[in-house]
Amino acid sequence: MRIVSLVPHATELCFALGLGAELSAVTHECDHPAGARELPRATRDTLAPGLSSAEIDAAVRERTSRGESIYELDRSLLRKLDPELIITQALCPVCAVSFEDVAALASELPSRPRVIALDPHTLGESLADVRTIAQATGRRTEALALIARSAARIDRVRLAVRGARRPTVAALEWLDPVFVAGHWTPQLIEYAGGIDILGSPGEHSRQLDWPTVAAAEPEVVVVMPCGYDALRSLHEARAHADHCLDLADGDDVQNVAMAASLEAALALAEGDYSRALGAASKAIDIGVMDLQIPSHESVRAGFPDAVDAALAVGDLDAADGLVALFAERPPGDVLPFLRMHARRARALAAAARADDDTVGDVLAAVETAFAELGYRYWQARTQLDLAEWFAGVGRLDEATAQAEGAAVTFEELRVTPMAARARRVRVPARPG
């Protein structure tokens, strides 16, 4: 089947359903997964490049008031591809080519392709889009598996934060003028352990002014401008630093680098080490920039997962590079934490190369340092590293003691996957 996807959400779902080989073209904004970047682009942005957020907003309002789209279809490409199925959306006139334009073009193509429009307002409806695409492409079995995996992943996140204090959150999807996110974003914030104090689940995003946002007194501000990548989002946050820093303490002002860090942690827990390394490295690249808005949390979350992922895929050069990066550019108040992780990375790299007899001593020192700094999670992670190393060299009693200590801490912190990993530490059978 020849498929054209005109919305990034649909592109990702097609790849997840195993339809990547059947995609003939995607939008100019589709960049995930990597295979999407290799496909022809069926749309383009009609706005002039280099506009500020305020200028983009003004241009969008002007074009939509005239009934014009801000995107154009590559009609000649679509006629050449002659698709059998076109997937678009009817949720937002600013997010993609209009459904009416797509339907009109489809009626002119020789193949008379079927056009389906996705219109999710909630997370549940977004998952239902999986079934919609599956029904149109005969991928029912794959759809059921994908929905089950997604639901299980959401449950893991919700369980991980159950019982934790829930901070108030403001999710901003445009900054000039300021828009607060709606649709499924408030649900995601709730599942992740926060309370969205401005957005409404299932409702459209809405425009507010900065004093109104400030009056809500959010503890965490998520800067997530629609259509921007992580770096551009961070630049926007920096450009509006005065407003953002009035809303929350500087160390709590975050951007999508934290989303990359979360993605890295989840991918690592699921064993997808290559994806974890890419996501965590992305968070680090953003976090170590010299910015007015502190991004230490991005560094704190991304660095350990990047190191672990690099070691898991055997990329020792990447692990060493991360160590060198933070040795050269320690980001302020997280220096003790990162120094301990640098030692941990070196110890694990040495263990992988089997060229250092001091691995156990180094890991033990790192564990002690984490304990003194109050980083219980990373103390337990280092205990687990130590347990696995002890098991590998036949020091059975020490392996058992370290694994038990790690498991108890993980259970207290409600980090179930890591507790299970600690309980599964295998030691060689005792001789005789």
Q: Classify burial at 396, counting beta carbons within 10 Å of its beta carbon; exposed 0-12, middle 13-18, buried 19 or more.
A: middle
pLDDT attached to residue 13:
94
**Mean pLDDT (whole number) for 88-114:** 82
Beta strands (DSSP E) in 162-274 are 168-175, 178-180, 195-196, 206-207, 220-223, 253-255
- Cα distances from 259 to residues 5, 96, 177, in angstroms, run 25, 23, 23
CB atoms closer than 10 angstroms to residue 329 = 12
pLDDT digits (tens, 9 = 90+) for 338-391: 667 777 777 777 777 766 667 888 888 888 888 887 888 888 988 998 998 888
Q: Classify burial at 166, counting beta carbons within 10 Å of its beta carbon; exposed 0-12, middle 13-18, buried 19 or more.
A: middle
pLDDT digits (tens, 9 = 90+) for 166-211: 888 889 999 999 999 998 899 988 988 889 999 988 888 999 998 8
Segment among 22-31, 69-78, 218-227 with least mean pLDDT: 218-227
Q: How far apart, in whole angstroms, are the C-alpha atoms of residue 52 and residue 39?
A: 29
pLDDT attached to residue 294:
39
Does residue 50 register a pLDDT over 80? yes
Please give the mean pLDDT across all residues of the chain. 79
pLDDT attached to residue 405:
93
Q: What is the DSSP letter of 385?
A: H
pLDDT attached to residue 150:
87
pLDDT higher at 292 or 115: 115
Are the C-beta atoms of residues 381 and 403 closer than 8 Å to each other?
A: no
Residue 157, token pair as written in the block:
């996140």
Q: How far apart, in whole angstroms, are the C-alpha atoms of residue 288 and residue 286?
A: 6
Q: How far apart, in whole angstroms, are the C-alpha atoms of residue 408 and residue 278?
A: 30
pLDDT digits (tens, 9 = 90+) for 312-332: 666 777 777 766 666 655 555
Does residue 406 register a pLDDT over 90? yes
CB atoms closer than 10 angstroms to residue 145 = 15
**Domains in the chain: ranges and CATH:** 3-147 (3.40.50.1980), 168-248 (3.40.50.1980), 280-423 (1.25.40.10)
pLDDT attached to residue 288:
45
Residue 86, token pair as written in the block:
């076109």
